[in-house]
Chains A and B, each alone.
Chain A
Amino acid sequence: DTEVTQTPKHLVMGMTNKKSLKCEQHMGHRAMYWYKQKAKKPPELMFVYSYEKLSINESVPSRFSPECPNSSLLNLHLHALQPEDSALYLCASSQETGSNQPQHFGDGTRLSIL
């Protein structure tokens, strides 16, 4: 079982819907990440939070809005998504950024945009 929990596991939404993806870890990690993974491709970094502050935004469209309410939780708010946004969205955490520490991944939310 992964120590990073993501909900929901699957999500189907229309282009006009608003939904949120949730990620939770209780390992005391202070860095959390969102990745997007298309089929048969490696994960692509979207956002990095360090000590609950957004430190990296990899030029992600504004229809994706991250939020870190506390050190254990990371949300990704979705609004007006496009069909090409259908993908597996992975959350990860690590003790901190700026080191060689491993990232622990959740099992992802598989998102389908109709």
Chain B
Amino acid sequence: TQLLEQSPQFLSIQEGENLTVYCNSSSVFSSLQWYRQEPGEGPVLLVTVVTGGEVKKLKRLTFQFGDARKDSSLHITAAQPGDTGLYLCAGVSNAGNMLTFGGGTRLMVKP
């Protein structure tokens, strides 16, 4: 079974601060996806990273896939209250499209 450790579990910061969420595994994934989930809704895909060492930017969000494709990070610059939510990383196994979710990071950005 492939496991993904996500940290931190909870993060409460002030508007304008920067933060990084980490996703680590001892297993290699063919790709890694990041989702954001708001209360009462399903997860919404933010990005998929596929190549080891890949960096993708989505406005103030920067996603990185580790060289060995075992870990990933999400960095948010100048966080805003609208960034509040549950952030989930999910690894895609080499065998198929089965997602293994990390435990999630619950982010609260206070104005």
Chain A residues proximal to chain B, CB less than 8 Å: 2, 4, 31, 40-45, 48, 56, 90, 92, 94, 96-108
Contact = CB atoms under 8 A, between A and B. Distances in A.
Chain B interface extent, by class: 20 to 34
Contacts of A90: 42-43
A26 B105 CA distance: 31
Nearest to B95: A98
B104 A41 contact: yes
Contacts, number: 58
A48 B103 contact: no
Interface of B: 30-31, 33, 35, 40-45, 48, 50, 88, 92, 96-99, 101-104, 106
7 interchain residue pairs of minimum CB distance: A105-B42, A42-B101, A100-B31, A97-B97, A102-B45, A98-B96, A107-B42
Contact of A45 (B30, B31, B98): B98
30 contacts: A2-B41, A31-B97, A40-B106, A41-B104, A42-B88, A42-B101, A42-B102, A42-B104, A43-B101, A45-B98, A90-B43, A94-B97, A98-B96, A98-B97, A99-B96, A99-B97, A100-B30, A100-B48, A100-B50, A100-B92, A100-B97, A103-B33, A103-B45, A103-B97, A103-B99, A105-B35, A105-B43, A106-B42, A107-B40, A108-B42
